[in-house]
Amino acid sequence: MEYLEKDFSEIAALLGDKARAKMLWNLLDGRAYTATELANCADVSLQSASNHLSKLLLNNILIVEKQGRHRYYKFSTPEVAQVIESMASLLSLNTNYKKIKRPAITAFTYARTCYKHLAGEVGVKITNALLEQNIIKPSEKKYLITSYGENWFLKLGIQIEITKNTKRSFAHQCLDWSERKHHLAGALGDALLIKMLEKDWFRKNKNTRKLILTTHGKQEIKELLNIDL
């Protein structure tokens, strides 16, 4: 029992630190943040924030994900986030703590291309709907397609076997820089966007990566995935 008491005390001390508590509180919105952003919200230096984050990583409270030249921190599992949320009322937080600001909502953060797939708020919402309806499911940093999902995509005009035979990743998680949550990338993400453009659900905006969601597209996506865009 002694080792359990020791582990419990160490975790309690880890979560009870005021700076770390502020970082964890901000992470409860489900988004991923950089060390600089978490340092600012906790009112500590970047070096101090890095030390705090190293401890949280070491104890499997957080994980870090590289996207381009940035490193984003988030909870290691939904279960950890739930525990932190249930403890939030016990943490020593000032009511005037700094909240990390989201990027301003623009047409670019709403819907855009990321390489050749859909990104932005719309891309994340569609990916979440695919997960909720068991069309795809997460597997480490990839997405697997379910048998129901294969039929769903086939009805949309996307043949999964052909898509899988391309010389690239079939379906993987891509961390959206504005939403800080994952959207669908890889050959399947590309095929989905191509199909949605063909069906005039989205239209490309000349000389920019912004996408225009059409009224027809909103209606069709609502019927297919039961989400309002």
- Residue pair 149/134 in contact (Cβ under 8 Å)? The answer is yes
- Residue 129 backbone phi and psi in degrees, to 5: -65, -40
The pLDDT assigned to 94 comes to 55
Q: Is 209 left (phi over 0), alpha (psi -120 to 50) or beta?
A: alpha
pLDDT per residue as tens digits for the range 27-66: 988 899 999 999 999 999 999 999 999 999 999 999 999 9
Enter the pTM of the model. 0.83
DSSP 175: E
pLDDT at 177 over 70: yes
Encoded tokens for 31: 């988004």
Closest CA to 164 of 146, 145, 143, 187: 187
**What is the C-alpha separation between 77 and 185, in angstroms, rounded?**
21
CATH architecture under which domain 2-90 falls: Orthogonal Bundle (1.10)
pLDDT per residue as tens digits for the range 105-150: 899 999 999 989 999 999 999 999 999 999 999 998 999 999 999 9
pLDDT per residue as tens digits for the range 22-36: 899 889 888 999 999
Average pLDDT over every residue of 204-221: 94
Question: Any idea where the domains of the chain sit in the sequence?
Answer: 2-90, 107-225
pLDDT per residue as tens digits for the range 66-107: 988 889 999 998 888 878 877 765 555 555 667 787 778 899
The pLDDT assigned to 200 comes to 98
The pLDDT assigned to 89 comes to 55
Closest CA to 74 of 28, 22, 32: 32
96 against 178, higher pLDDT: 178
